[in-house]
């Protein structure tokens, strides 16, 4: 009886105009709960996807291991002792880039690493060495000098790379045009880059990680060559390998003939050292590949 009296008093406290809705209250409660649960599901799904992605990345076999890099030490006729300088993080990034840009065969990996070794003294110098006067003699500056493992150079090269990264990683910008610097004018590359910046600003998209790729002397943080070396050393190399179509030039039997072709596309000097690097690296990659079968 006590519960009945309490229920009666509760009904009396409900305004008369709302009493017809009382029988529907359980339905409203269920609806609100469903909405709240539905709103949480995508976030939980995203967390699960990110987790599975990390697990998948970590579980993939390495294309290049620390043991292989250590075995690639050799004596170069021009540079002297050569041995890779790397960290656990940079090795993981190397493997991610090799997979993403489809540099997977022992031949392709050996050619890629041979170029990177000569460009950077096997990872010791991720930006081009020299004075401002030297850089200007070749048409660029300290801010736009070579950077990364294949020494991406020039402002237009930075703009093209920045556009590529925005298109690849910023969902709002996935449809922007990208201008390959191997077959487009500097003006076309610049227009595409600044159009991407304007669109990002209009959409409120965060592109700060990629706009810094282009050198800005007024910026309080590192930009241009220094930033590429810090944040995208392997990524910029994989990107450059891809846009120049080097992978398509490696048909047929492996050998230093490929090295000369790649050297020409990369644009570096000291071709003899690049041949020697390849000659030292390929047996390591070939033997490891044979052992895995």
Q: Is residue 84 part of a domain?
A: yes
Q: Of 146, 109, 93, which Cα lies nearest the Cα of 267?
A: 146
Is residue 90 located within the same domain as residue 27?
Answer: no
- The values of phi and psi at residue 80, to 5°, are 80, -140
Q: Which region among 21-30, 125-134, 188-197, 260-269 has the lowest average model confidence (pLDDT)? A: 21-30
Res 230 pLDDT > 70 = yes
Q: What band does 270 get if pLDDT is binned at 50, 70 and 90? A: confident
Give the model's pLDDT for residue 288.
72
Is residue 50 located within the same domain as residue 120?
Answer: no
Q: What's the rounded Cα separation, in Å, for the pair 189 and 23?
A: 66
Give the model's pLDDT for residue 267.
83
Q: Is residue 80 part of a domain?
A: yes
Is residue 126 located within the same domain as residue 38?
Answer: no
Is residue 50 located within the same domain as residue 106?
Answer: no
Q: What's the rounded Cα separation, in Å, for the pair 38 and 40?
A: 5
Higher-confidence residue of 128 and 42: namely: 128
Is residue 142 located within the same domain as residue 277?
Answer: yes
Rounded mean pLDDT, 213-241 = 97
127: helix, strand or coil? strand
Task: Indicate the number of domains in the chain.
Answer: 2
- Domain end (from 34, 55, 76): 55
Q: Is residue 171 part of a domain?
A: yes
Q: Is residue 187 part of a domain?
A: yes
- The values of phi and psi at residue 150, to 5°, are -115, 15
> What is the share, in percent, of the chain residues with pLDDT greater than 70?
78
Burial of 217 (0-12, 13-18, 19+ CB in 10 A): exposed
Give the model's pLDDT for residue 152.
97
Is residue 171 located within the same domain as residue 199?
Answer: yes
**Residue 53 contacts by C-beta under 8 Å, 6 or more apart in sequence?**
none
Q: Which region among 79-83, 239-243, 255-259, 282-286 has the lowest average model confidence (pLDDT)? A: 255-259
Q: Is residue 234 part of a domain?
A: yes
Q: What's the rounded Cα separation, in Å, for the pair 135 and 243?
A: 24
Task: Report the first-to-last Cα separation within the chain, whole angstroms.
Answer: 82
- Summarised one tens digit per residue, pLDDT across range 1-54 is 433 333 444 444 445 554 555 455 555 554 544 444 444 444 454 445 444 444
Is residue 27 located within the same domain as residue 141?
Answer: no
Give the model's pLDDT for residue 18.
47
Q: By residue range, what is the domain housing residue 7?
A: 2-55
- The values of phi and psi at residue 60, to 5°, are -70, 140
Is residue 119 located within the same domain as residue 215?
Answer: yes
Q: Is residue 60 part of a domain?
A: no
Q: Is residue 155 part of a domain?
A: yes
Two structure tokens written together for 249: 């030039």
Is residue 127 located within the same domain as residue 254?
Answer: yes
- Summarised one tens digit per residue, pLDDT across range 43-100 is 454 445 444 444 455 567 899 999 999 999 999 999 999 999 999 999 999 999 999 9
Find tokens 């909405």 and name the residue.
35
Rounded mean pLDDT, 272-286 = 96
- Domain end (from 35, 55, 75): 55
Q: Of 82, 137, 128, 111, which Cα lies nearest the Cα of 249?
A: 111
Q: What's the rounded Cα separation, in Å, for the pair 275 and 216?
A: 36
Q: Which region among 73-77, 96-100, 162-166, 287-291 has the lowest average model confidence (pLDDT)? A: 287-291
Is residue 190 located within the same domain as residue 93?
Answer: yes
Q: What's the rounded Cα separation, in Å, for the pair 89 and 291?
A: 25
Is residue 130 located within the same domain as residue 170?
Answer: yes
Q: Is residue 266 part of a domain?
A: yes
Give the model's pLDDT for residue 40.
46
Q: How much is the mean pLDDT over the chain?
A: 85
Give the model's pLDDT for residue 48.
52
Rounded mean pLDDT, 273-280 = 96
- Summarised one tens digit per residue, pLDDT across range 199-219 is 999 999 999 999 999 999 999
Res 170 pLDDT > 90 = yes
Is residue 246 located within the same domain as residue 136?
Answer: yes
């Amino acid at each position: 009886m006590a519960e009945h009296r309490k229920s009666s008093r509760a009904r009396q406290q409900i305004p008369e105009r709302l009493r017809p809705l009382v029988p529907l209250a359980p339905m409203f409660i269920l609806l609100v709960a469903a909405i709240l649960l539905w709103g949480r599901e995508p976030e939980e799904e995203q967390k699960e996807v990110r987790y599975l992605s990390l697990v998948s990345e970590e579980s993939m076999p390495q294309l290049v291991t620390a043991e292989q890099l250590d075995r690639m030490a050799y004596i170069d006729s021009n540079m002297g002792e050569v041995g890779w300088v790397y960290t656990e993080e940079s090795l993981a990034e190397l493997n991610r880039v090799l997979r993403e840009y489809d540099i997977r065969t022992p031949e392709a990996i050996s050619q890629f690493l041979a170029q990177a070794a000569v460009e950077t003294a096997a990872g010791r110098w991720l930006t081009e060495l020299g004075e401002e006067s030297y850089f200007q003699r070749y048409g660029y500056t300290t801010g736009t000098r070579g950077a990364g493992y294949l020494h991406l150079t020039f402002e237009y090269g930075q703009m093209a790379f920045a556009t590529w990264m925005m298109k690849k990683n910023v969902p709002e910008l996935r449809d922007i045009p990208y201008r390959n610097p191997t077959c487009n004018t500097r003006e076309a590359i610049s227009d595409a880059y600044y159009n991407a910046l304007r669109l990002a600003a209009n959409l409120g998209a965060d592109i700060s990680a990629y706009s810094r790729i282009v050198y800005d002397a007024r910026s309080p943080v590192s930009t241009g060559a220094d930033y590429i070396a810090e944040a995208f050393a392997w990524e910029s190399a994989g990107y450059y390998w891809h846009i120049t179509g080097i992978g398509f030039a490696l048909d047929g039997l492996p050998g230093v003939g490929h090295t000369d072709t790649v050297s020409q596309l990369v644009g570096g000097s000291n071709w003899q050292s690049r041949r020697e690097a390849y000659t030292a690296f390929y047996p390591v990659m070939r033997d490891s590949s044979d052992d895995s079968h």
